[in-house]
Amino acid sequence: MIYYIGHTSDLDGRINRHNSNRSKFTKNKGPWELVEFTVCKTKSEAYQLEMKLKRMKNPNKAIQYLKKLNSSVVEHSD
C-alpha cells in the first residue's frame, strides 16, 4: 500500500485531483482514499506537520501520530 502525506486548503479537491491522475506523484497509483487528517490553524503549521510526518518514514507511525493528535484535540475542545 502506498500512502501520500501532504497539506491542502481543499481536501476534497486534492483527493479528486489524485484520483483523476492530474498529479505526477500519484498518477496511476490510485484509487486514493483518505486515511487520516487534521486541521491546522495556519499554512505554516500545516507544512511543519507535513514535514514532521514525512521524516517519520513509516506511514503507520505517521497515521498513529495523527490519530493521537486528533484525539487530544477532541478531548481539549470542551
Domain positions in the chain are 11-76
pLDDT value of position 45? 96
Give the start-end residues of each E strand in the chain: none
pLDDT, tens digit, 9 for 90 and up, residues 2-27: 888 999 999 999 999 999 998 888 88
pLDDT value of position 75? 53
pLDDT value of position 7? 94
pLDDT value of position 65? 96
Residues 6+ apart with CB under 8 A from 69: 38
pLDDT value of position 76? 47
pLDDT, tens digit, 9 for 90 and up, residues 38-76: 999 999 999 999 999 999 999 999 999 999 999 986 554
